[in-house]
Each structure stands twice: as C-alpha cells, then as structure tokens.
Amino acid sequence: MEEAQAKYDRLIQAIATEKDELAYKELYQLLYPGVKRFAISYLRDYEQAEELGDDVMISLWRNKNKLSNIRNIKVYVLVLARHRCLDLLRVKKNRFEQLEDIHIDLQHDENSPENIVLTNELKAKITSAINSLPPQCKLVFHLIREEQLSYKEAAEVLSISVKTVDAHLVSAMKKIGFFLKKEYDH
C-alpha cells in the first residue's frame, strides 16, 4: 500500500514540476481503468463512462501545478468520477432516485487455475446476488474488492462513515454466503 502511494507521489511530482508526459501516461494507465469501471457501475453506459474517465484524467493534466495538494490521488479521481456521475444522472432523469440503477460487474481472472471451488455458473449467481443489494452496498463492495481501496478510502469516495462501509460489506458477504451455502448444502 505504502509502496503504491510512493509511486503515485513520484508520478505526481514529475507531472507537477516537469510536465512529464510519460509520468502522466503511467498515471493514466494506473487510474483510468478504475475510474471507468466505477463510472460504468453508475451510468451503465460504456461510452459515457469512457468519456467521463477521460474527462477526469485530463483535468489532472490541465491542473498540473495544483496536483501536489492532493493527498490521495486514487480517492480523488473516484470522488470526481462519483460527482460527475451523479450530475449526469441528475440531468438524465431530473430526479434523485438515480442510485437505483447501480449495477456492478464482477471481474474474474478467467484463466486462473487457482479458482478451486468457484465455477463460472456460481460466479454468475453471485453477481446477480450482489446486484440485488442496495446501491450503496454494491458500490462499497465494488470499491473494496475491485479497486482494492481501504475501508477509509471507500468511505471517503462515497462520503459515508467507515462504520457504514463495514456494515455494507457485511451485508454483501452475508448475501453471498447465503448463496454459497445453499450450493454446498445439497
């Protein structure tokens, strides 16, 4: 974790002081996929999410000299992405129930021989189980599992408390556990 943070610090430093385009490229490749995935959960529109991801990233490049003020760049871009998603959904629907439509995709390493007990069929079941959870709960699950954020970081991104993150994650685990148990009990 600290190693990753040191890397981000180094890249930001190079971008802020030397306008280093290669450093920006590296930062882009580290952050853009996650921003896009997060945006897809909200927007459920691949192209729109790509556009939004690009938008968020170029704002970093355009504000190079202010970059060093950012404490946690990974959280920062996700917060930006979340606000923009909510704005977009607000415009789209002109109401505040946009969160109902959150949908997350579980990514798996399809070729991993290490997946001992999870079959693809079971993975599909788990995905639909998770998607039946409340929106915030899904987002917490996505940020922690997919983007490997800490509880604290996830809390910051969604502007909720660490306690709430903990509780949401327990709900998600319970739901998944329920499906798994049903699978193994017969």
Residues at the site binding another protein, with contacts judged by CB under 8 A: 1, 21, 25, 28-30, 32-34, 54, 57-58, 61-62, 106-110, 112, 114-118, 122-123, 126, 144-146, 148, 150-151, 166, 169-170, 172-174, 176-177, 180-181, 184
Residue 76 CB, shortest distance to another protein, in Å, is: 18
Nearer CB in complex with another protein: 83/174: 174
Nearer CB in complex with another protein: 100/109: 109
Radius of gyration of the chain (CA): 18
Q: How far apart are CA 17 and CA 141, in angstroms?
A: 36
Residue 181 CB, shortest distance to another protein, in Å, is: 7
Pure H helices in the chain? 2-18, 21-43, 46-62, 73-93, 120-131, 135-141, 151-158, 162-185
Which pair of structure tokens corresponds to residue 66? 């202010």
Residue 82 CB, shortest distance to another protein, in Å, is: 19
Nearest to 99 by CA among 59, 70, 63, 139: 139
Residue 95 CB, shortest distance to another protein, in Å, is: 32
Cβ atoms 75, 34 nearer than 8 A: no
CA atoms within 13 A on the CB side of 170: 6
Nearer CB in complex with another protein: 99/180: 180
Count, residues in the chain:
186
Nearer CB in complex with another protein: 67/89: 67
Nearer CB in complex with another protein: 40/57: 57
Angle formed by the axes of helices 2-18 and 73-93, nearest 10°:
80
Residue 103 CB, shortest distance to another protein, in Å, is: 18
Nearer CB in complex with another protein: 50/101: 50
Residue 96 CB, shortest distance to another protein, in Å, is: 29
Amino acid at 131: N
